[in-house]
Structure 1
Amino acid sequence: MLKGQFLRIVFIILGVISVGGCTGIPEGVQPVKSFDIQRYQGVWYEIARLDHRFERGMDSVTATYELQNDGTMSVLNRGYVVEERQWKQAEGVAKFVSDPTLGHLKVSFFGPFYGSYVVFKLDKENYEYAYVTSYNKDYLWLLSRTPKVSEAVLKDFEETVKQLGYSVDELIYMKHIMAKNL
C-alpha cells in the first residue's frame, strides 16, 4: 500500500514538473524588460517561424491579442491552410508568468495546459516587431504589425536567433495573401 501511494506521489510531482517546464525559458534567452501589454495588444503578422504541427501548411498567419478586464489576454491565432483552401483559427488565453513588465507569458489553447510565450526582442519604440520563443528552441516566431518587415529587421532576426542556437536553416517565411484573392 505504501509503495502504491509513493508511486502516485512521484507521478503527481513529475506531472507538475513537466507542466511547469513548459512555461520555462530556453537557455541563453532573456525576456524583454519594461514590457507594456497595452501596447502589445492588437494584430501581429507572422513573418517567419520554425515548423510545428499546429501551423503546418498555413500561410497568412496572424495573432490577435486583446487585454481583458481580469488582466489576462485573449489570443486568436488565424491562418489559411493552403492544401485545404480554408481558414482555421484557435482561441486561447495568455497570462503573465510573474512580473507584468517582463515579456514572459504563458498561453493556453487547451484548458489547464500552458506553454511559455517569451518575447525576447521587441521594437520598444513603436512595438512594430517582436521575436518570440517558447520553453525550448524548437519554437520561434518573428512577428510584425505589417505583413512585411525591412531587410534590416529580417537580417537582425536571423543573426540574433542563430547566435542563440536556433535552427535558422529551418525557418519558414510566411506568405500573406489577401482574403479577396482566395
Structure 2
Amino acid sequence: MTMMKSLLLFASVVAVSLAKCPDLKSLDEFDATQYTGQWYEISRYPLIGELGETCVQTNYTLKEDGTIRLENRGKKPDGSIDSIMATATVKDPAHPASLSVVFDEGFRGSYNVIRTDYTQSALVYACDSLLGFNVEYAWILSRTAELDQSTQDEYVKLMADAGSATNKLTVTPQDCGSVF
C-alpha cells in the first residue's frame, strides 16, 4: 500500500486535523478512587484497534502505588472477546485528571478526564500529534449500558464548542450485558 493510501485509511478511521488540538481542559480535581470500577463505552471516535467491536467496556482498578490499572474489553464481529491491559499514571500532580497510559503491548497514549460525576458518566479526551496531524480520541462513558441523551448532548456540545470533530463520533452498541 502506498504512503498516500495509508494516510487516507488512517484519516478515515480517526478524527484527524491539521489545525491545533482543541482546548479541552481536564478536571482540576480528580478522585481516582471514585473513578475506579466498570464503565461502558457509549460513543467514541473511531479507533483502529476497536473497528467493528461492540460492547466495549473498561474496568479501572486503583493500585497501591497510585497508578490505575485498566482492562478494556470488547466483542469482536466474530463474537470473541478482545482484551487489552494498560497502566495509567498522573502526568503532573497539579493536573490529576490528565493521565499517561502505557499499554502492556508497549504503546502509549493520553487520557484526560474532561468531565465526570463518578456515578453516571464521564467524558474522556486526548489529542496527539502524529506525522504532522493532530489525532483526536474521545470517549463518552457511562456506569450503565445506556446514558441519557441530554448528558451525551452536553458532552458533544462541549467538544464541538472547543473545535473537536464531533461528526466523527460513533455509537458503541451495548447489547450484550457485561463483558467482565
Normalized against structure 1, the TM-score is what? 0.77
Give 1 or 2 for the bigger CA radius of gyration. Answer: 1
Shift, 1:92, TM fit: 1.0
What is the identity, as a one-letter code, of the residue corresponding to 1:96? V
**Equivalent of residue 130 in structure 1, options 122, 128, 150:** 122
Partner of 1:6: none
Q: Distance in 2 between matches of 1:178 and 1:112?
A: 30
Shift, 1:93, TM fit: 0.7
Shift, 1:141, TM fit: 0.5
What is the identity, as a one-letter code, of the residue corresponding to 2:34? R
Partner of 1:95: 89
For structure 1, which runs of at least 5 residues remain unmatched after alignment?
1-25
Partner of 2:7: none
Per-residue Cα deviation, 1:44-90 (whole angstroms, up to 9, x for no partner): 100000001011111000011001112111110000012x2211100
Partner of 2:64: 69
Partner of 1:48: 43
Secondary structure at 2:127's aligned position in 1? coil
**Equivalent of residue 101 in structure 2, options 90, 104, 107:** 107
Aligned 8 A contact 2:26 2:95 in 1: no
Partner of 1:120: 114
Determine which structure has the larger helix proportion and give its number: 1
Percentage of pairs with the same residue: 26
Determine which structure has the larger strand proportion and give its number: 2
Per-residue Cα deviation, 1:131-163 (whole angstroms, up to 9, x for no partner): 111233521110111111112101112211111
Partner of 1:57: 52
Secondary structure at 2:136's aligned position in 1? coil
Secondary structure at 1:46's aligned position in 2? strand
Secondary structure at 1:138's aligned position in 2? strand
Partner of 2:15: none
Q: Distance in 2 between matches of 1:60 and 1:122?
A: 21
Partner of 1:28: 23
The total of aligned residue pairs comes to 153
Per-residue Cα deviation, 1:11-58 (whole angstroms, up to 9, x for no partner): xxxxxxxxxxxxxxx441111021000000000100000001011111
Partner of 2:132: none
Shift, 1:109, TM fit: 0.9
Normalized against structure 2, the TM-score is what? 0.78
- 1:85 matched to 2:85? The reply is no
Aligned 8 A contact 1:78 1:90 in 2: yes
With 127-136 and 36-45 compared, the bigger mean Cα shift is at 127-136
